[in-house]
Chain A
């Protein structure tokens, strides 16, 4: 058959690699900053502007690391490996460019809007609806380009790395679309389509699988390509890799409910989540061992070659976090870990160890190839390796330690049956751990800068190969399977079938998990005393979301003695039916707020929010002085009420017409309370944002309290 000549384009992988390293450094720097903010609240700079406040900056950090660092890492791998594995250039250069610039544009929009306080309030899905649409468009462009390449390939078989890429693409598309259903209220403001329990279920179905199909499966594809290339021998067991693939994508999608143990989620769904999470150990460890065994007999190389060193630790961290994950989904372990820094340690072993080190290994291998040069300094790379490892250790250990320590403090009772420690006692003793963690992160970041220097030097010493020539015969149109291999290799020759099958596999899990979610909704008994938020409370809630209070506070009390004693009656599913979006939170840097309403008077909140540290000795909560200067924007009230009614919140017909009048009455009431409670010392306009926030905080958890007192 005639050979055809074609070129592999290196320009796009190079661009993605640069973006990956650049955003990686930015995202990690933000991580270091927020880590220090927790220890030294002055670093929030809240007295000057609200943009760098922890609640706003943490989403920028998580989004940057997940979607900018790892995202560009995935695309680097795909745009480099896919053409080579298929013996065909990427299908469209124009789409490749659109993909690259589109993604970078999204990242910039994300960073800017999040700092300005535009957020949906759902973790790792914070971006507002216009950006969600942009993401969908760019993702489709990526998919079309990938499938165009697959369909014009010159290699019959699809190598297993490509399977991982395909499954990741289709699943991320599904997750993004389902979780992003939202009702636009204005440009850059929307309410989640779902409410309360249902919103929580969809969100964590998304959140868990974002970890699975954004941070794990595409990176496994990356591993199955770059690891064999770097060791210069094929993967240990190709059969195992196929089993790894199918069972992993099958099981992952079911495991989401383990984020919601002991919450309003039904028992059987929790147990199912736990069962599938535990089973996940098998394929994950299968994959890890497959990777490690690929290096068997090459251990002498591992000692020398920085690329392999990084890969070994990446795989080890993958093994550790995939062992830990299932453990965390056991109910009794989860009781300790949930809301604590244990979870933070867990994700960072994954992010810094698995994603970070795999990316670094890939870069140390790829950049010399792209620039036809030798790595500038192996010694620097080795130093980077040790800095990174030390960084991970100093990050993780204090967080684990702190999680256990806080747990025992939180649940300690005096012999008289009273809580032994106030929340603030726990906060005060936690600060040293936060400091060590921040130092660990800094060391890791220094390593990244060492790498950047090394890679730049490497690139400078060589010359960039923009196009690599290759030759291969075209695929014969009519394929006749060899007689001995009946229907076996059917699937890996049929990309569309593979796509559809992956979609079915993840779709089944998704459906079985989500259908009851929707049934639950109609089965959550409405509690008669639970009423929609008043217009002022609704506005206050939007301020709560805007400032990212959910990054430190939960609103979900679990049915444990030590929680009920500390925070009040445990949370009921029916209490959240008007919460678009839900605000259960995932981490308690501050106390739970689910039953805050009525705990203090308005004046307390007024004095607390302006400078928590002055009011509560040792508080690490940021200041919010801008809420006392800025006037509440009430022009949006009408569209907010309108949108909420469309989502099923029972505001009366035409309530819009008098909503702002009600809002004003309630605001004046709070202003008057402040005057009386401070004996006339505090005089503030009832138009300020803080008034709305106080209204919301005073409402939290009150519905049920009313019911019990009226009985």
Chain B
């Protein structure tokens, strides 16, 4: 695409997708680690919240 030439004029533009992807991977791994380290008791009490409204 001829439009991409405008972008190549921006210095170091290729860094953007790389940054984006690494941020996501790091983010995703941290969230997963965090979620799986929550105790079972906590999880099941949170699950029940919609049923304790009275």
Interface residues in chain A, defined as those with a beta carbon under 8 Å from any beta carbon in chain B: 8, 81, 84-85, 87, 155, 157, 159-161, 225, 228-229, 234-235, 238-239, 242-243, 246-247, 250-251, 254, 262-269, 271-272, 275-276, 279, 470-471, 484-485, 488-489, 492, 505, 508-509, 512, 516, 519-520, 523-525, 559, 572-573
Task: Determine the chain B residues whose CB is within 8 A of the CB of A267 once the complex forms.
Answer: 1, 3-4, 7
Question: Which range contains the number of B residues in contact with the other chain?
Answer: 35 or more
Query: Is the beta-carbon distance between A234 and B7 smaller than 8 angstroms?
Result: no
Query: Is the beta-carbon distance between B20 and A254 smaller than 8 angstroms?
Result: yes
Cross-chain contact of B31 among A8, A84, A160, A242 (Cβ < 8 A): A242
Nearest chain B CB to A499 CB, angstrom units: 17
Cross-chain contact of B27 among A8, A239, A246, A520 (Cβ < 8 A): A246
Query: Is the beta-carbon distance between B6 and A238 smaller than 8 angstroms?
Result: no
A516/B13 contact (C-beta < 8 A), A234-B51, A266-B6 known: yes
Query: Is the beta-carbon distance between A268 and B1 smaller than 8 angstroms?
Result: no
Nearest chain B CB to A132 CB, angstrom units: 30
Query: Is the beta-carbon distance between B50 and A264 smaller than 8 angstroms?
Result: no
Binary contact readout B1-22 vs A (1 if CB under 8 angstroms, 0 otherwise): 1111011011001101101110
Interface residues in chain B, defined as those with a beta carbon under 8 Å from any beta carbon in chain A: 1-4, 6-7, 9-10, 13-14, 16-17, 19-21, 23-24, 27-28, 31-32, 34-39, 41-54
Task: Determine the chain A residues whose CB is within 8 A of the CB of B17 once the complex forms.
Answer: 268, 271-272, 275
Cα–Cα distance between A556 and B51 once the two chains are bound (Å): 53
Cα–Cα distance between A247 and B27 once the two chains are bound (Å): 8
A485/B7 contact (C-beta < 8 A), A159-B49, A254-B20 known: no
Query: Is the beta-carbon distance between B50 and A250 smaller than 8 angstroms?
Result: no
Cα–Cα distance between A161 and B49 once the two chains are bound (Å): 11
Give how many A-B residue pairs fall within 8 Å (CB-CB): 126
Most chain A beta carbons < 10 A, residue from B13, B24, B52, B53:
B53
Query: Is the beta-carbon distance between A485 and B10 smaller than 8 angstroms?
Result: no
Nearest chain A CB to B30 CB, angstrom units: 9
Cross-chain contact of A157 among B20, B23, B46 (Cβ < 8 A): B46
Cα–Cα distance between A471 and B52 once the two chains are bound (Å): 10
Cα–Cα distance between A321 and B33 once the two chains are bound (Å): 29
Task: Determine the chain A residues whose CB is within 8 A of the CB of B21 once the complex forms.
Answer: 275
Cα–Cα distance between A246 and B24 once the two chains are bound (Å): 11
Nearest chain B CB to A35 CB, angstrom units: 35
Cross-chain contact of B38 among A8, A254, A485, A572 (Cβ < 8 A): A485
Task: Determine the chain B residues whose CB is within 8 A of the CB of A225 once the complex forms.
Answer: 50
Task: Determine the chain B residues whose CB is within 8 A of the CB of A524 once the complex forms.
Answer: 6
Nearest chain A CB to B15 CB, angstrom units: 10
Query: Is the beta-carbon distance between B9 and A512 smaller than 8 angstroms?
Result: no
Nearest chain A CB to B20 CB, angstrom units: 5
Cα–Cα distance between A275 and B16 once the two chains are bound (Å): 13
Nearest chain B CB to A282 CB, angstrom units: 9
Nearest-CB residue, chain B, relative to A232: B51
Query: Is the beta-carbon distance between A266 and B37 smaller than 8 angstroms?
Result: no
A488/B50 contact (C-beta < 8 A), A272-B20, A516-B10 known: no
Nearest chain B CB to A473 CB, angstrom units: 12
A268/B13 contact (C-beta < 8 A), A159-B50, A234-B51 known: yes
Nearest-CB residue, chain A, relative to B51: A234
A488/B27 contact (C-beta < 8 A), A228-B50, A235-B47, A275-B21 known: no
Query: Is the beta-carbon distance between B37 and A488 smaller than 8 angstroms?
Result: yes
Query: Is the beta-carbon distance between B54 and A489 smaller than 8 angstroms?
Result: no
15 contacts between A and B (CB under 8 A): A157-B45, A159-B50, A234-B44, A238-B43, A238-B44, A243-B35, A246-B27, A268-B7, A268-B13, A268-B14, A276-B24, A484-B39, A488-B39, A508-B23, A516-B16
